[in-house]
Structure 1
């Protein structure tokens, strides 16, 4: 009763009684990160971080702190019970999130879209959880553009690992204040595996493992090599927070073009699982590429709708070539200089002899658009240089900014009888003819969907030298862009180089159909290709045609050759 002898009415109020215990690492976890709210999918257009209590203890968060990069903010008193969630956001945005669950506002709350370092510390400054997120963790190009949160898959997993994060699958874009849409508490029972080996120098490699590792096992593991030239490890180094990057330094230098096989044993992930059967990987110390060792082989710069451009390269050498720190660029005519350089790969990316590699900014779009592909060597980069649909230059530079190949393209190189060039790639006919030979390019065949990214070209026409000074191949061809004998090769072999050529094409009545080549300087051997069209970009009439090949030397001597071919058509 009070001092007036009034008896208090019967009432009940809930309360929590708990004995404060120090939090251990990972008792509370950073469980969800909403760093890029734009475009808005369903959630409020404001950033947040979600904290989740994975322990059986109750914690008062008074004077705990959240650090985003170098900025640290204290959290006000809040009782977080086992299994509960707490949303942290900017103090101006708390109203928008109070409908989703418990929320606390912080001043100067700002997350970087591409990634940042997050630290959760208790009131004594003890680290309770840390996350070093990156936009690659979304594992989805569309969702990484914004509107979706990053969700922790298994909050009870003892390891911090990028593989334990992915984009939210919730239709609203995230699950603030509730269990994550990707939640899976399956215990980790599988060991790590070798994901990649990067070449650091001629006596050092970097081994990337698929999971967060136990650092002591990395230091005490065994690293053996199955190759002719035995390698001895001089130094093993790894660093946090994931300890899945291991640098091995050798006592001797690696040899160019040698295939080394590394086997790793005795390593444990942070769950205690020994490395699994995928503990072996090959690596190669690359050769130095020369001009035209890596050639531009296919270019598509006029995509359908919202599709993406792509450029395909081909290793036309016997070398193992590393594209690390190589770049793709264009040419600025006003500045008369290479411009808009974009790095192709920041890590080791070996292209084997005779292998194709495709460069685009959206590999999934390429796979959906073109049925004839090989995505085993696709490289996705953040952006390509801007290439005009009509004309431009594709330039490939090595890690020293030396031009390895250049292709000055123009839409006139396409098969002129196509109704549209949208989504149609230009394909190289012959690896060994020069890239700038305009007759060495034509449209990809309609029968393969107008492009073969990462795969052998639908249109190929390799020079067939017979011993004659001039020959044509095939003698009968049908220029209909179906991928079968669409073009005619005019091949030449002379004893000396430095002659000048004219190539004219006539019909059976002697009428000029096409002036294919005029006053061009020749090498000792080479080829030109005719697509079966005339001077006004119409298909030549079906029937016999005469190829008149005329050469002049520096002394004024003239030599002429006549060959016949047949322009055919399907019935």
Structure 2
């Protein structure tokens, strides 16, 4: 029998308890009623005692209804008359989501007595996951082999702060654990109880008594969330007394409105849905009075909660994609599933996500968010595949629409559109945005840095720095101020067809102001009838003309002002020249420079020259390596429009940044074009240029032997065309000059020599040359202008003493005009000595037997 003194001591506490059981009635079947493995328990000497099967590994449980949650104190007495271990322990559940405590889906909080560390600790259970330690008790507090007596008190404040206390004498002189963490994961409970695990000798060694659950705090109003224009969900910190929760007079808006209905939600009795007769205003404040919980605690009030007006459709700049998890492996900590994070940037508006569509550029398949979906001001949500929702449920709000797009690891274009099809947000990401080679390989998300700079691209994104690899449904780890202070610039203009001109800008424009006709003008004067920003990224504007353009007739587009999507406006007038392109024929565009053997770690490039008077569109053109036999693989220059002006050069490479780094002073960034791939050119090969229909426009058969033999290395040295109008033959190419860094991508060739010597039959240009690879007279050319075709030539170089130095040409058929170059190298591959040399030219016409012989003098000099 329990001591009377102890009973009298506890009476003041137990009198206010919402649940208590000291088993003085001799049973656990009433007042309150415990259920579960009833046959495995008994009441002996007014204490609850285990009495299960004597089988090692047996787990038994007993529970009783309890809805107490926050602002609650739990107490119980226990004695484990055994040596605790991982196979002999007791879990006393304070809050459980199910009456069956052994159900693996159960969630809530429990106190563990014993275990491997022989301690008293507080745990949280998240459904099927392993229990999470909330308060780690002092090890060895339950170290007896036969008598582990303890009284435990757990307090959860209304602010969700937990305190764990114990008295190892079974009395009430409690000692608190130092840790008092905040954990608000679970706000509802259906049961309290005990769950035991034991070995065969300990089936009757667990004793419990004096269970008491006390909630002496009034309910708190947490928030008010609008459902639609006239309904609002009012959330409290605990389950409410339905009688007080449904009294209409207990609620009012500060504007005086009283609800017409008040309904406690069946799936969450801590939430009341109020319906009002009129629509909510933009900002609202709800007052609540005389609200009671299940235990009779009344909040006189007024309790207040502010909430925004009804959910509204998002506008441009409201709804953003702020995180992208495209490469989920290797696993760092996040689930092995792709996701994006969306964010309501508005500070006041609740966004309705109903009908919002997520898609990829170039595809028609979209994922549509449900009509019930919404985001509060400043709230985040995860969007993932419909079968992956449970993986992210523990992180926050999550939506799993069907047709969630597969995210490419290397990069993709993602677009959010409203129900009406308007573009709300667009981002074209790349794995280069990680700025971290290790994180680029997978397991880490990309995060937006500054949500106020949402139009920006690579400079406003970076790899997450969160230890788990990302921050789904919460503020980004990379979050920082990163404002856009730059105004947009006009990059170029392009005639898409005879009546449409597309203007390209450096960043996303404000689509409304970009449609203002008065911002654009053409010279010579041409009427513009419409300006249409191009979705989804709004970096281009299509201008419709009143009259068709004439092919290859240049015009200048002037833009008075361009405003980007965050409001930065350009200053002075900007302009770009363009013309309607026409079709190219063979020889219009030629290979002008080729780097086939780049330095280690660098990349190749092929430069083209438009030597025609036409404007030419390169869309769909291709480079081909080797013979055109249908088996070779072509690489495309561009899938979109790309126009070359007359005389323009463009250098194509797989990495523009690498070319700029390799040739920092000899490139022109405006004429560098990055392509997905280029052929892997060999040391001896042929480059073909094809148009979009596969017609050959030019070809160059080259060899590393074309390079100046005096070079210490050929790596990183390009071959440059000498004569613009000359044939695409090896004899018309020479190594780029060392003085310019051995290549001129996007710039005029260092070895260009277009002076033909007039109409004289034979001329030498220059007459004095210095083959030192400085780009100044590095070679000399024997230029010929013959009176008729059919000549066969032999050209030989002799020194001033008449000794053979170099055989340049042997019995080669010549065109009527052209040249032969000498780079100052003799037949043994060595640089010839400084001095005078004779070029002996022998011409023969087989058809008539006519022979001619000429001698031209040239000086091989040197710079001192």
TM-score normalised by the chain length of structure 1? 0.80
- Corresponding position: 1:461 with 2:753: yes
Q: Is the 8 A contact 2:435 2:463 kept in 1?
A: no
Query: For 1:18, what is the secondary structure of its paired residue?
Result: strand
Once the two structures are overlaid, the 10-residue window that deviates more, 469-478 or 2-11, is 2-11
2:336 maps to 1:336: no
Please state whether the residue corresponding to 1:533 is helix, strand or coil. Answer: coil
Partners of 1:152 and 1:164 within 8 A in 2: no
1:373 positional shift: 1.8
Q: Which residue of 2 aligns with 1:562?
A: 855
Partner of 1:112: 408
2:586 maps to 291
- After TM superposition, the structure 1 = structure 2 runs for residues 260-275 of structure 1, keeping only pairs within 5 Å, are 260-263=555-558
3-state SS, counterpart of residue 253 of structure 1? coil
Q: From the CA coordinates, give the structure whose radius of gyration is larger.
A: 2
**Deviation digits for residues 92-145 of structure 1 (CA, Å, limit 9, x no counterpart):** 7998998xx658696988413432545599xxx899995443246967999897
- Cα distance per residue 1:521-563 (max 9 Å; x no partner): 2222221101222333233344443322111112111111122
Does the 8 A contact of 1:30 with 1:129 survive in 2? Answer: no
Alignment partners' CA distance in 2, 1:321 and 1:142: 42
Q: Does 1:518 align with 2:518?
A: no
CA contact (8 A) 1:168 1:180 kept: no
SS in 2 for 1:558: strand
1:40-439 alignment to 2 at 5 Å? 47-56=338-347, 67=358, 70=365, 72=367, 83=378, 85=380, 110-113=406-409, 114-117=411-414, 119=416, 131-135=425-429, 149-156=445-452, 161=455, 163=457, 166-168=460-462, 176=471, 177-179=474-476, 181=478, 183-184=480-481, 186=483, 194-209=490-505, 210-215=507-512, 221-222=517-518, 225-228=521-524, 230-238=525-533, 240-242=535-537, 245-263=540-558, 277-278=572-573, 280-317=575-612, 319-333=613-627, 336=629, 339-370=632-663, 371-388=665-682, 390-436=683-729, 438-439=730-731
CA distance in 1, matches of 2:759, 2:516: 65
Deviation larger for 364-373 or 469-478: 469-478
Distance 1:142 1:198, change over 3 A: farther
2:222 is equivalent to residue 17 of structure 1 = yes
What secondary structure sits across from 2:633 in the alignment?
strand
Counterparts in 2 of 1:506 and 1:141: CA distance versus 1, 3 Å: farther
| Cα displacement string for residues 498-524 of structure 1 (whole angstroms, at most 9, x for unaligned residues) | 211111223445443332112322222
Q: Who is 2:771 aligned against?
A: 479
Q: Is the 8 A contact 2:415 2:536 kept in 1?
A: no
Q: Take 1:441 and 1:500, find their aligned partners in 2: how far apart are those partners? A: 22
Distance (whole Å) between structure 1 residues aligned to residue 707 and residue 768 of structure 2: 21
Deviation track 1:339-366 (CA, whole Å, cap 9, x = no partner) reads 4333323444343333322111111111
Match of 2:705, SS state, is helix
SS of equivalent residue, structure 2 residue 752 = coil
Equivalent residue pairs, number: 556
Residues in 2 aligned to 1:266 and 1:133: alpha-carbon distance in whole angstroms: 24
C-alpha contact (below 8 Å) 2:655/2:674 kept by paired residues: yes
- For the 8 Å contact 1:220–1:266, the answer to whether it is kept is no
Mean CA deviation greater in 476-485 or 423-432: 476-485
Cα gap change, 1:172/1:45 in structure 2, threshold over 3 Å: closer, same or farther? farther
Superimposed CA distance per residue, residues 175-203 of structure 1 (whole angstroms, 9 cap, x where no aligned partner): 534435364375x8987654443311112
Q: What is the match of residue 840 of structure 2?
A: 548
On the 8 A contact 2:485/2:568 being kept in 1, the answer is yes
**Whole-Å separation in 1 of the counterparts to 2:578 and 2:762:** 45
Higher RCO (CA 8 Å, separation ≥ 6 residues): 1
Give 1:12 shift.
Answer: 1.8
Of 34, 37, 41, 2:325 maps to: 34
Q: Choose 30-39 or 51-60, whichever is displaced more.
A: 51-60
SS of the counterpart of 1:364? helix
Provide structure 1 residue ranges, at least 5 long, that are not aligned to the other structure: none
Q: Deviations over 1:197-244 (max 9, x none)?
A: 3311112222345434344x555633653434x423355545644555
Q: Write the distance in 2 (CA, Å) between the matches of 1:439 and 1:267.
A: 49
Mapped to 2, the partners of 1:195 and 1:384 lie a distance apart of: 25
Structure 2 Cα separation of the partners of residues 79 and 249 of structure 1: 39
- TM-score, with length taken from structure 2: 0.55
Alpha-carbon distance between aligned partners in 1 of 2:757 and 2:73, rounded to the nearest angstrom: 110
Q: Secondary structure at the match of 1:447?
A: helix
Which position in structure 1 is the counterpart of 2:782?
Answer: 490
SS at match of 2:679: coil
Greater CA deviation, 529-538 or 39-48? 39-48
**Secondary structure of the residue that 1:520 maps to in structure 2?**
strand
Task: Give 2:743's aligned residue.
Answer: 451
The 1-side partners of 2:347 and 2:499 are apart by 50
Deviation per CA, 1:290-327, whole angstroms, max 9, x where unpaired? 4333322211011111210011222334x252343152
CA contact 2:311–2:351 (8 Å) conserved in 1: no
Contact 1:41 1:172 in 2 (8 A): no
TM-aligned CA distance change 1:84 to 1:531, over 3 Å: same
SS of corresponding position for 1:345: coil
Shift in CA distance, 449/207, structure 1 to aligned 2, threshold 3 Å: closer
Determine the C-alpha separation between the residues in 1 that align with 2:668 and 2:702: 24
